[in-house]
Amino acid sequence: MITLLEAFHWSQLLQPQYYIENGGLWLLLFVVFAETGLFFGFFLPGDSLLFVAGIYSAPLAAQIFASNNEWLNLFIIFSFISVAGILGNYVGYQIGSKVGPAMYDWKENLFFKKKYLAQAQAFYEKHGGRAIVIARFIPIIRTFAPIVAGIVKMDKAKFTYFNVVGCLAWVASMLCAGHFLQSYILNQFQFDLKKHLEVIVIVIVFVTTAPVIFQVIKHRAQK
């Protein structure tokens, strides 16, 4: 059996199918946890990982409880992933509240970029508490938004509300999109998305990062 380390290559960090095929549900949960709250998790796949998880919902759910019911399978992985995402954001909030402004003095490295923290803060200042919900659907901002919420001492009850609502909406939409799009296209056109995941991931990454790229270009144009 090929172990996770033996199968690993740096280029696979952005390939969601790698995590699912080699680490299953448990690695998926760790990636979601890290990507939604740990500052070094910003480079990990989020939207594309959940989309692909929806496609592989049956084998992923079978690691907890084997069933032929697609709704039960979706509910199982939805529940576990939601908990991981909510806890990830909460940990991010705690990091921000404990470490706070000191993060702006940290030296940059491969796993930490000050500009991402600044972008998340600007996003938070523009949208307020809703930023926690909206940020769930925006890569990089998603990772740093809860940290910024902790830095500015956002009310815990308010943060918890937006954290839960945002996470449930994000997980449900991504999982269902992957699962039901796969089912529809396979039944209607006999086209298996599993055989074309590379293209799908590229499209998802482009669509989800387009708002960030647009804002960066707009900001530079205004200087």
User: Which H or E element spans position 133?
Assistant: helix 130-134
In the numeric block, the tokens 């997980």 are attached to: 171
Query: What pLDDT is attached to residue 160?
Result: 94
| pLDDT of 63 strictly over 50 | yes
Residues contacting residue 88 through CB under 8 Å, at least 6 positions apart: 32, 33, 34, 35, 36, 37, 38, 41, 146
Q: What pLDDT is attached to residue 7? A: 53
For residues 132 and 202, the model is more confident at 132
Binning pLDDT at 50, 70 and 90, where does residue 1 land?
very low
Cβ(60)–Cβ(20) under 8 Å?
yes
pLDDT given for residue 89 in this prediction? 94
For the stretch 138-171, pLDDT in tens is 888 888 889 888 888 888 999 999 999 999 999 9
**Any idea where the domains of the chain sit in the sequence?**
13-222
Q: How far apart are CA 133 and CA 206, in angstroms?
A: 20
Q: Looking at residue 30, what is its pLDDT?
A: 92
Look up the pTM and report it. Answer: 0.81
**What are the pLDDT digits (tens) for 28-56?**
999 999 888 887 767 778 888 899 999 99
What integer is the mean pLDDT of 73-91? Answer: 96
Question: Cα dist. 105→2, 75, 151, 182 in Å?
Answer: 42, 42, 14, 46
CA nearest to 167, candidates 146, 152, 140: 146
